[in-house]
A and B are shown apart, each in its own frame.
Chain A
Amino acid sequence: KQEVTQIPAALSVPEGENLVLNCSFTDSAIYNLQWFRQDPGKGLTSLLLIQSSQREQTSGRLNASLDKSSGRSTLYIAASQPGDSATYLCAVLMEYGNKLVFGAGTILRVKS
């Protein structure tokens, strides 16, 4: 059974810092990995999707990497801003089936 773990559970940083969020998964038979942002009481906004054959994806200040064989992904946020404060979720889509398996998320607070 696929298990997705995110570290740290919470992170508080001053504005302007670069930061790294970590995601690990136990079963490397994944089709892709998505990073989402969730604001309190709101839905999930897709930030980046990495196919299993890719090593990284970039969007603006965000860069996500994937090491499928070791079961790890990182989300790098450059020059953090208070507006980046949210919960960041990692989810993997298995090669078999079409359900996303989510991690518990990292709660990020960027202080101004």
Chain B
Amino acid sequence: EPEVTQTPSHQVTQMGQEVILRCVPISNHLYFYWYRQILGQKVEFLVSFYNNEISEKSEIFDDQFSVERPDGSNFTLKIRSTKLEDSAMYFCASSYSSYEQYFGPGTRLTVT
């Protein structure tokens, strides 16, 4: 069964460094998303992406964040200058339409 994959599974970085989290969505899906979950808190929406542009973003998704679909298979989330409060589990998701979203296993980001 097709699945969303994410790399790396765990990323440790120092405050102020740039990180890129990578995702490979399900191949025929058209909508792509990033969510995050700070330890002990709710899963929060960050951004959705369709037709090579951002379709919706939350207040969390400020100028420090960017997304890109550099080729036909990858979908990336970049954090330009990480802060301690960016430490969280980041989930990528994809969907064929505004229907069922399929989530990847997540990347645990630890900012020290």
Most buried by A among B33, B55, B98, B108: B98
Q: Is B65 an interface residue (CB 8 A)?
A: no
Q: A42-B106, A89-B43 are in contact. Are A100 and B35 (CB under 8 A)?
A: yes
A10 to chain B, nearest CB (A): 13
Q: Is the interface on chain B under 10, 10 to 19, 20 to 34, or 35 or more residues?
A: 20 to 34
A41 cross-chain contacts in B, Cβ below 8 A: 89, 108
Residues of A in contact (CB 8 Å), total 23
Per the 8 Å Cβ criterion, residues 55-69 of B in contact with A are 55-56, 58
A100 cross-chain contacts in B, Cβ below 8 A: 33, 35, 43, 45, 101
Contact B35 A43 (CB under 8 A): no
Contact B48 A44 (CB under 8 A): no
Q: Is B18 an interface residue (CB 8 A)?
A: no
**What is the chain A residue whose CB lies nearest that of B48?**
A98
Q: Is A97 an interface residue (CB 8 A)?
A: yes
B-contact 0/1 string along A69-112, CB 8 Å cutoff? 00000000000000000000101010001111111110000000
Q: A32-B99, A91-B43, A98-B98 are in contact. Are A43 and B56 (CB under 8 A)?
A: no
Q: Is B71 an interface residue (CB 8 A)?
A: no
Contact B105 A46 (CB under 8 A): no
Q: How far is the CA of A43 from the CA of B93 in the complex (A)?
A: 10
Contact B100 A44 (CB under 8 A): no
A104 cross-chain contacts in B, Cβ below 8 A: 41-42
Q: Is A24 an interface residue (CB 8 A)?
A: no
Residues of B within 8 A of A (CB): 31, 33, 35, 41-45, 48, 50, 55-56, 58, 89, 91, 95, 98-106, 108
Residues of A within 8 A of B (CB): 31-32, 34, 36, 41-46, 49, 89, 91, 93, 97-105
16 contacts between A and B (CB under 8 A): A32-B100, A36-B103, A41-B108, A43-B104, A43-B105, A44-B43, A46-B101, A89-B43, A97-B48, A97-B56, A98-B31, A98-B33, A98-B98, A100-B33, A100-B43, A100-B45
